[in-house]
Amino acid sequence: MVSMSSNLVELECSACGKKYDASKEQHLCTCGKPLLVRYDLRRAAATLNLEALKSRPRTMWRYTEVLPNDPPVSLGEGMTPLVHAKRLGASMGLQSLYVKDEGLNPTGSFKARGMTAAVTRAKRLGVKALAAPTAGNAGGALAAYAAAAGIPAVIVMPADTPFANVMECQAFGAKVVKLNGLISDCGKYVAENKDREGWYDVSTLKEPYRVEGKKSMGYELWEQFGGKLPQVIFYPTGGGVGLIGMCKAFDEMQDMGWIGVERPRMVAVQAEGCAPIVKAWEAHQSSAQFFPNAATIASGLRVPGPLGDQLILSMLRRTKGTAITATDNEMLHAGRELASLEGVFAAPEGAATVIAARKLATSGWIKPQETVVLFNTGTGYKYSEAWQKALQV
């Protein structure tokens, strides 16, 4: 049951608004769309503020009023550095360019945030086994938090997933299933087997709590900028949960009276070889089509049919943002540039934001004085195969 001291009120469908009981296991709405967690934000605002945060533990669970109020299954995730990238910014004509380095989370990526929240809630709900499809980093994060919670995990991944991701899942004791295909095929495998096997499906947006963990990135930006938000945020977008989560955080902040109606302009960055959101954005569509023959070295961006497509596109519109692609070669070049200028060794997904920012700064879409944040969603150390190619060029 939901704790009486929790601010968590209910779950609500992101599309049709139907309400659900948060004390029970819930996945998608009957209309097939993702559920979002709703809180008593007036009550949350009474104790959550910059002053109170000064004395709290430096993990994402410091925002306890707007997270599931269960004993956290935590490995110390969150409060990642916000690096002022002065040299990189100067090369683009941007005075206030920052990199939020999510590669310093447990298991080396932002996926730790979503999985700590999802596994924490799953443990409270008494689930017997966890399962998820993954293009790489989500699998490692789920395997780690499942191990910390003492719950068995099944990780289903494409056969060509980077070796570091496979190895860590196995080390954490998860059962690894490799399939010939893409993350969409792995998702089908989990969906077809979960009921028979008794798995709790932790797939992207098929349970409500990974969004909650990811939204903490938005709260951290607000805190790290001293109670303000940047003008522009570049986010590598595969499943898009981080982008959805941050926009949810900004809405919650407005409801708590922290900010007004203005929002950072959100930029969804995708790989040219897998760009369903960019394609839909350019065609002025409100939903995305499945992207055929998806291929990119940025495994986290190889999501040809994101379940959250409508949410992502509506959030780009609402924030006056945009969507843009980078090629694999551009990512590798930008990754070297980011590492050599700023000392941040990024995943190709993170490097893609450097290219995107350069393109939009050149076109004048970003003004020189605007505060801009690039999200590096994972560490470059996990992409040794991709980096080997880059460094031979």
pLDDT confidence of residue 217? 98
- Residue extents of the structural domains in the chain: 82-109+212-392
**Residue, of 156 and 160, whose pLDDT is higher:** 156
Query: Encoding tokens for residue 87?
Result: 């040299």
Within 10 A of 108 (CB to CB), how many other CB atoms are there?
23
119 pLDDT more than 70: yes
Least confident window among 10-14, 157-161, 267-271 = 157-161
Looking at residues 301-321, what average pLDDT do you find? 97
pLDDT at 393: 56
* CB burial of residue 292 (10 Å; 0-12, 13-18, 19+): exposed
Kindly report, residue by residue over 328-362, the tens digit of the pLDDT. 999 999 999 999 999 999 999 999 999 999 999 99
Is CATH 3.40.50.1100 the classification given to domain 82-109+212-392?
yes
Which is more confidently placed, 384 or 265?
A: 265
| CA-to-CA separations, 244 to 83, 155, 218, 236, 249, in angstroms, rounded | 23, 24, 10, 12, 9
pLDDT band at residue 388 under the 50/70/90 scheme: confident
Q: What is the pLDDT of residues 189-247, one digit of tens each?
A: 999 999 999 999 999 999 999 999 999 999 999 999 999 999 999 999 999 999 999 99
**What is the overall mean pLDDT for the chain?**
95
Token look-up 């409100």 returns 286
Instruction: List pLDDT tens digits, range 362-372.
Output: 999 999 999 99
The gap between the terminal CA atoms of the chain, to the nearest Å, is: 56
202, 118 contact by CB (below 8 A): yes
What is the dihedral sign for C-alpha 169, 175, 180, 186? negative
Compute the average pLDDT of residues 283-302: 95
Q: Which of 6-10, 26-30, 34-38, 93-97 has the lowest mean pLDDT?
A: 6-10
**Residue 207 to residue 244: CA distance in whole angstroms:** 14
What is residue 62's predicted lDDT score, i.e. its pLDDT?
97
Q: How far apart are CA 48 and CA 98, in angstroms?
A: 25
Q: What angle do CA 267, 28, 158 make, to 5 degrees?
A: 65
Q: What is the mean pLDDT of residues 176-182?
A: 94
pTM of the model: 0.96
Using the predicted structure, report yes or no on whether residue 39 has a pLDDT greater than 60.
yes
**pLDDT greater than 80 at residue 106:** yes
For residue 5, pLDDT beyond 90:
no
Give the Cα-Cα-Cα angle 238, 110, 69 (nearest 5 degrees). 115
Residue 114 has pLDDT above 60, yes or no: yes
**What is the spatial order of strands in the sheet that 153-158 belongs to?**
175-179, 153-158, 130-133, 200-201
